[in-house]
């Protein structure tokens, strides 16, 4: 029954191409997240370093 349900949903095992596209998407997401985090957290660390007595 479960199998027929998934067939009805036209579920297919993810192809290599699908996994690649999801992987590339995740990498883009990471880069988009990491750039601001590095600038902001790095900048705040730098404030402490530069203004340390």
Residues that bind other proteins (CB under 8 A): 9-12, 14, 18, 21-22, 24-26, 28-30, 32-33, 35-37, 39-41, 43-44, 46-48, 50-51, 53
For residue 14, the 8-state DSSP code is: P
* Tokens 């036209």 sit on residue: 10
Report, in Å, the least distance between residue 10 CB and other proteins. Answer: 5
Report, in Å, the least distance between residue 4 CB and other proteins. Answer: 15
Report, in Å, the least distance between residue 22 CB and other proteins. Answer: 7
Burial 22-47 (b: 16+ CB within 10 A, else e): eeeeeeeeeeeeeeeeeeeeeeeeee
């Amino acid at each position: 029954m479960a199998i027929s349900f998934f067939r009805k949903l036209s579920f297919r095992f993810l192809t290599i191409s699908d996994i690649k596209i999801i992987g590339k998407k995740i990498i883009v997401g990471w880069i988009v997240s990491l750039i601001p985090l590095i600038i902001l957290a790095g900048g705040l660390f730098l404030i402490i370093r530069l203004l340390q007595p």
